[in-house]
Amino acid sequence: MKRKGLLIDLTSLLDVILIVLFLVLTTSAAQAATATEDIEAINQELSQANQALSEQVEALERRQFEGTPTEQNWYQVYREQIGRIEVYFPDDLQTEAMRLIEPDGTDKKKPETDNLADWLQEAIDDIDQEVIIITFSYRNDAIFWRDYTGLRDILLHISGSSNKTIFYEEVPRK
């Protein structure tokens, strides 16, 4: 007996496979779209929370007094009666000028023609408060011993000869 070869028509099976593949692709695209929307909503909530948190941090920073521990202690006791000034010794005197940093953050650069002692005395006399904290800020590896002792002696002389109560402190920078 002669056998005939079986002829199977796979066209309908191929159609079914393509339809299932199409359904899988459309469902995954829909899931991706909803996931994207969810992520965008979460990002928006996070940005709002970050903004609220940053506003709270700014409010806390405004309420917090910035300064060295000595300044903070005196500020708690005297509040309005305290003046504050920072003598900032630059990292390189050849390229930068020495300057005074006032409590509001403004800088006064020392003119090259002014005498250091007179310039500092004038700046301290301009402060209205009776109690003044002078902070000498410098980098240990950027200041010569003669500059350090000279400026320290001037500040100590001013604090001893002034009719105001002056507290002197040093804050080495890193």
Query: Tens digits of per-residue pLDDT, 119-143?
Result: 988 888 888 888 888 888 888 888 8
pTM as predicted = 0.53
* Res 62: pLDDT: 59
pLDDT in tens, 151-172: 889 988 888 888 888 888 888 8
* Res 66: pLDDT: 64
* Res 5: pLDDT: 65
* Res 1: pLDDT: 57
Name the stretches of the chain with pLDDT < 50. Answer: none
Q: How far is CA 173 from CA 19, 89, 90, 133, in A?
A: 72, 10, 10, 18
* Res 95: pLDDT: 84
* Res 130: pLDDT: 84
Q: Which strands make up the sheet holding 99-101, listed edge to edge? A: 107-109, 99-101, 82-88, 131-139, 165-173
Helix/strand number for the chain, H first, E second: 4, 5
* Res 3: pLDDT: 67
- Tokens, residue 103: 């409590």
- SS3 of 11, please? helix
